[in-house]
């Protein structure tokens, strides 16, 4: 089975934990902290493998996980980095974010590679946190988890010539006549269930070897998912020349051609701008031969270049040599032919707007959500089971201005504050001071009411 679209899950490796150790050697009574840093987690890259032609390798395995790093050790020894993972894909593979649909990269040449998920940073050991006033810190950072991402690979065949047409128009027969390919051929619709590729021989003295693809038959409505054609319309985008194979023996070949052109335009209007030849096929049949001149005139009036052929005769069939010569004239020189026709080979870089402002706070359910690359990384790297680490985290909230921003957003003691996967119950000492002041004011007010309602011995109320 030809597999050209697949979704996979990627998980980068976790960074190693920093060590919290003290130097212990004879004759060194106060060696101080010597905890080393954790290693960086493994990342996942994608590169072009020119030996692949389909995404079949991803048919079963849909999860790829890079290696975790090891933690730091004593004597400031650094942890070992996690193993990177490199995934090979065929030339012409476009990579999209499965959640947002954004294009990540479009890979066409051997030199291209792209980082898809980055391994987590290793935590710093306690040797980094020594200060003049704190000579023996126990605080060390935990390793940061690696990035997670679901991506979609879409293969778009890189072919110089694409054969399109309705089912049973004779595309596979024409491919066999023009090249050494041996596709499955049958006198019924949808014989071809997957694209076939062949190499077009232009002549002994011609050093070019363009590729030609037989794309499965389109039907009316293919651009919105009908039939098999929808799955293969994307492959037409990378071709230089489209050969539209039309069965001249049908009741209305001109309408048949219009159906295909409508579907191409609906999928991508730029497809109609590609150089297109009309291969008027099956002229070996008497009913088609009788209408050859009439049909050729009708297509020429539409501004299309028509070549009458009979693919059933093989490479010696009527018009095959003329079609080969026409393609040779339309295709570029060998150097240009070595590059893909469609502008591609891009890696898209996007700026995270949250990262540029530091953090943002929003309501989420009954609590508040804090988003920001730096603070979320700090959450992952803080060991809350260690009091010193928890205190440092609290200090960072104040230093980065998150505490004051939460107050302005309306966060009060008892509210839930979520940062990454961490959920905290907010405990603000300022709220306690305000509460005590309010309680005192309320008590004074009540006390005054009670005094005002207490009568004296003369039956008059005391003021």
DSSP assignment of 114-146, as one string? EEEEPPPPPPPPGGGG--SS-SS----PPPPPP
Evaluate whether 143 touches 17 at the Cβ level (below 8 Å): yes
The secondary structure element, H or E, covering residue 275 is strand 275-281
pTM score of the predicted model:
0.70
What pLDDT sits at residue 189?
39
Residue 170 has pLDDT above 50, yes or no: yes
Least confident of 44-48, 85-89, 147-151, 417-421: 417-421
Alpha helices in 363-416 (DSSP H): 373-381, 387-399, 402-408
Specify whether the CB–CB gap between 13 and 54 falls below 8 A.
Answer: no
The residue out of 123, 155, 187 marking a domain boundary is: 155
pLDDT for 226? 44
d(CA 303, CA 276): 10
Give the domain CATH number at 411: 3.30.300.350
User: 128 and 270 share a domain?
Assistant: no
Residue after which a domain boundary falls, among 278, 307, 337: 337
- Which pLDDT value is given to residue 41? 97
The pLDDT of residue 85: 96
CA distances from 347 to 46, 107, 200, 344, 462 (A): 11, 8, 31, 9, 84
| Whether residue 322 is found in the same domain as residue 360 | no
Establish if 455 belongs to a structural domain.
no
Indicate the pLDDT class of residue 224, thresholds 50, 70 and 90. very low
Q: Which residue has the tokens 């950072």?
A: 141
Same domain for 73 and 167, yes or no, is no
* Residues 373 and 247 placed together within one structural domain of the fold: no
Strands 360-364 and 305-308: unpaired
434 vs 57, which has greater pLDDT?
A: 57
How many structural domains comprise the chain? 3
Q: What is the DSSP letter of 70?
A: P
Closest CA to 370 of 414, 412, 428, 424: 424
**Pair 234, 332 in one domain:** yes
Say if residue 274's pLDDT is above 90: no
CA 273 to chain centre: 28
Alpha-carbon distance of 14 to 16, in angstroms, equals: 6
> 187 is written with which tokens?
């006198």
What are the Cα distances from residue 35, in Å, to 78, 271, 384? Answer: 9, 61, 18
Q: Is the pLDDT of residue 355 over 80?
A: no
Is the same domain home to 142 and 260?
A: no
What is the structure's pLDDT at 187? Answer: 43
Assign 157 a pLDDT band (cuts: 50, 70, 90).
confident
Within 10 angstroms of residue 68's Cβ, the number of other Cβ atoms is 25
* Residue 260 pLDDT: 85
Reported as a pLDDT band with limits 50, 70 and 90, residue 185 is very low
Which of 157, 342, 175 has its CA nearest to residue 245? 175
Kindly state the average pLDDT of the residues 285-292: 90
Distance CA(61)–CA(463), nearest Å, equals 86
Say how many residues make up the chain. 463
- 199 strand-pairing partners: 211
Phi, psi (5° rounding) for residue 171? -65, -45
Same domain for 98 and 1?
A: yes
Distances (CA, A) of 459 to 446, 448, 454: 22, 19, 10
Residue 393 lies in a domain: yes
284/329 same-domain check: yes
Residue at token pair 């840093």? 37
What is the residue-wise DSSP string for 3-59?
--EEEEEEEPPPPPPPP--B--BTTBTT--B-PPPPPPPP-EEEEE-TT--SSGGGT
What are residue 286's DSSP bridge partners?
Answer: none
Looking at the fold, whether 226 and 370 belong to one and the same domain comes out as no
Say if residue 151 is in the same domain as residue 201. Answer: no
Quote the percentage of the chain above a pLDDT of 70.
79
In a domain, 254, yes or no: yes
Same domain, 203 and 286: yes
Phi, psi dihedral angles at 44 (to 5 degrees): -120, 125
Quick one: pLDDT band at residue 463, thresholds 50, 70, 90? Answer: very low
Range of the domain at 415: 353-427
Is-contact 155 66, C-beta < 8 A?
Answer: no
Q: Which of 155, 172, 189 is the last residue of a domain?
A: 155
Cα 277 from Cα 298, distance rounded (Å):
14
Asked whether the beta carbons of 25 and 131 are under 8 A apart, the reply is no
Those residues with Cβ within 8 angstroms of residue 400's Cβ, 6 or more apart along the chain or in another chain: 358, 359, 374, 375
pLDDT attached to residue 450: 34
Q: Can you give the pLDDT at residue 430?
A: 64
319 shares a domain with 394 = no
Token readout for 363 is 């309501």
Nearest to 46 by CA among 105, 3, 103, 5: 105
Q: Which residues contact 422 (CB under 8 A, 6 or more apart)?
A: 379
């Amino acid at each position: 089975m030809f597999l050209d679209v697949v979704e996979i899950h990627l998980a980068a490796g976790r960074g190693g934990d920093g060590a919290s150790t003290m130097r212990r050697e004879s004759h060194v009574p106060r060696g101080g902290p010597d905890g080393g840093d954790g290693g960086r987690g493994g990342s996942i890259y994608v590169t072009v493998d020119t030996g692949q032609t389909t995404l079949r390798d991803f048919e079963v395995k849909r999860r790829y996980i890079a290696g975790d790093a090891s933690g730091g050790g004593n004597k400031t020894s650094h942890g070992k980095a996690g193993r990177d993972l490199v995934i090979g894909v065929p030339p012409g593979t476009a990579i999209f974010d499965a959640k947002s649909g954004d294009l990540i990269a479009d890979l066409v040449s051997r030199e291209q590679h792209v980082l898809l998920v980055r391994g987590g940073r290793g935590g710093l050991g306690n040797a980094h946190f020594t200060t003049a006033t704190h000579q023996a810190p126990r605080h060390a950072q935990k390793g940061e988890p690696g990035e997670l991402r679901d991506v979609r690979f879409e293969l778009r065949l890189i072919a110089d010539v694409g054969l399109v047409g309705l089912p049973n128009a004779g595309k596979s027969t024409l491919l066999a006549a023009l090249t050494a390919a041996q596709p499955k051929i049958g006198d019924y619709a949808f014989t071809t269930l997957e694209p076939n590729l062949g190499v077009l021989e232009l002549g002994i003295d011609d050093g070019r070897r363009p590729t030609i693809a037989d794309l499965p038959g389109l039907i009316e409505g293919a651009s919105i998912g009908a039939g098999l054609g929808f799955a293969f319309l994307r492959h037409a985008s990378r071709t230089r020349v489209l050969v539209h194979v039309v069965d001249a023996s049908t009741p209305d070949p001109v309408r048949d051609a219009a159906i295909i052109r409508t579907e191409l335009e609906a999928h991508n209007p730029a497809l109609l701008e590609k150089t297109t030849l009309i291969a008027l096929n099956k002229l070996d049949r008497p009913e088609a031969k009788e209408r050859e001149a009439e049909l050729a005139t009708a297509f020429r009036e539409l501004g299309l270049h028509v070549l009458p052929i009979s693919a059933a005769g093989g490479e010696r069939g009527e018009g095959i040599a003329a079609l080969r010569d026409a393609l040779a004239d339309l295709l570029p020189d060998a150097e240009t032919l070595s590059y893909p026709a469609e502008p591609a080979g891009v890696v898209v870089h996007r700026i995270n707007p949250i990262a540029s402002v530091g953090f943002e706070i929003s309501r989420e359910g009954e609590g508040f959500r804090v988003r920001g690359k730096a603070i979320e990384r700090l959450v992952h790297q803080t060991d809350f089971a260690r009091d010193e680490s928890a205190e440092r985290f609290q200090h960072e909230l104040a230093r980065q201005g998150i505490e004051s921003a939460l107050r302005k957003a309306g966060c009060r003691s008892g509210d839930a504050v979520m940062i990454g996967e961490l959920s905290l119950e907010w405990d603000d000492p300022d709220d306690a001071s305000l509460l005590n002041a309010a309680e005192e004011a309320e008590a004074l007010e009540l006390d005054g009411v009670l005094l005002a309602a207490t009568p004296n011995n003369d039956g008059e109320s005391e003021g």
